[in-house]
Chain A
Amino acid sequence: MSSLTQLLYTARDSLTAQSYGLSVTGQNITNVNTPGYVKRDPLLETRALGTATTGSVTATGLRRATDIYIEKRELSARGSASAASEHDRQLSSVEALFNDLGATGMGSALDGVFASFSALAANPNDPTARTAVLGAASALAERANSMADALADTKNDLLKQAQATATEINEKAASIARLNQRIVAAETQGEDAADLKDQRNNLLLGLSELVDVRTIAGDNGSIVVQASGTTLVEGAESRAFSIDLNADGSLKLLATSVGGSSTSTEVTQFLTGGKLAGIKETRDVDVFDIGQKLDQLVFDVATAINTQHAAGFGQDGVSGRNLFDVGAVPAGAARSLRLSAAVAGNPAAIAASGDLASLPGGSDNAVALADIFNTGLTGGRTAAETYGDIVGDIGQRKSAAQQYVETQQAIKEQVQAMRESVSGVSLDEEMVSLTKYQRAYEAAGRVLSTVDQLMEELINRIGR
């Protein structure tokens, strides 16, 4: 049977516990907009004193409202959404290069060469028509160069972005490792590590946007972080990612051994998510494919024109001259295409005539040159058809990337909503909690004052 004194202690414990509840509620309200903040619930228990029932209460700590499975799904969803978003963003700049609808493509340059040959055939002896051929050929070469340069710049930019992303991953991994250490230390000493866990969670969310991430719960609040199929963080140790290039120019993701050993392991094949995956896909798949197709088109057109041009005769009676300088293989053709030195600045060298006897007004070779644009090149498609195919291909890639972004974004938002539903702060709830603890505190105060009155009454009566 409890005494009045015991009741005093009970009221004191209640005031402390309700005060703790108010404090946690205040924390929740304060952090309602803090990214990554996980709602806390105060843990109140009845205080046992041996086997006796005292009816007292104690605050044993707090609980972070989390769901480990939802958190894992969020990491994965963020990684996929980030990869898709980066892929889509990077493809925008590639698409802009081939936007003939916005007059930035190569279609008009190809048309210009055809039109110049056609005009030359109409008046083969006209210096203006000959100069126009040189101008159109030069414009085609410049356009091909600038598109290939832009693709090469995009690849270089993406390499730098990949390297910067790897550095960012390493910084986050190192921070997570440090937090792991502090969390373990705090929990070992029986301290609350909720804030540290929030910080670590925030870093994990940030990391998941850079690379695909999986987590495994370790001992004493520590976590193991796996990224791109390898362990990135384990306890207080983290590995470092670095970017290198393969012999074919594609990106290579390397991971150093834990402990800072100089040995590196290639983990590129396991890279599936995050900004890094988006960068790699754009650079090594899309830009590479489009560059190859552009090179093939430029090579085919330039080679066909060169062959026909060399078969004809310039006004000076010389044949065998190429109109373009282009390599022997398609690789790099767009970037290296130049107006041949044999014809540059020399309109008379344009071979409009098919034979010596038809000089200077023969037009058959000019007609044949124009006809190249109606003839199937590699794959049996004309230059215009092939170029249209490239434009369609880029559009298809960009459109698919956009749709994928929308899907991944929706999944991410759904998972985020699930996490928010479990871990987010609801002001409605907190206001109710605030009232709940406030009322309980007031009631405990009333118990205290009642006990005080009773004791005063007792003392006064006994003393009389």
Chain B
Amino acid sequence: MTIDIVQQEIVEDFSGFEDWMDKYAYLIELGNELAPIDPKYKVESNLIRGCQSRVWLHQEFNEGKIIFEAESDALIVKGLVALLLKIYSNHTPQEILASEPKFIDEIGLRQHLSPTRSNGLLAMVKQMKLYALAYEKISTKNN
């Protein structure tokens, strides 16, 4: 499935919620369901520090695709992390670099990805793109 299709699906999932509370309850549910990151990856070097909450991001490169694992100590952030993983994990560097997380805007949660929010999410997206850029360079070099 392409990144854009996954994003569309998420937007559709959220379009059913009329109340803000349902929307956040769903994010909390997604956060609770997200498999915890392997403790050995929950280390300082994988930590994206926000003033408000912390995000840990680990990646592996396998058969041309980047597999991301991530977690946050705040549940709403973890729910959003789950959505970002759904979108970006298991894709090629080129696909990741070509796609923006525009679903956030469409589901009315843009404030969580704004530079003024120090929850680590925006930094997580940037970090995923940086990994994609690095792996893109490696794979073009190898070809």
- Answer whether A and B are interacting partners: no
Residues of A within 8 A of B (CB): none
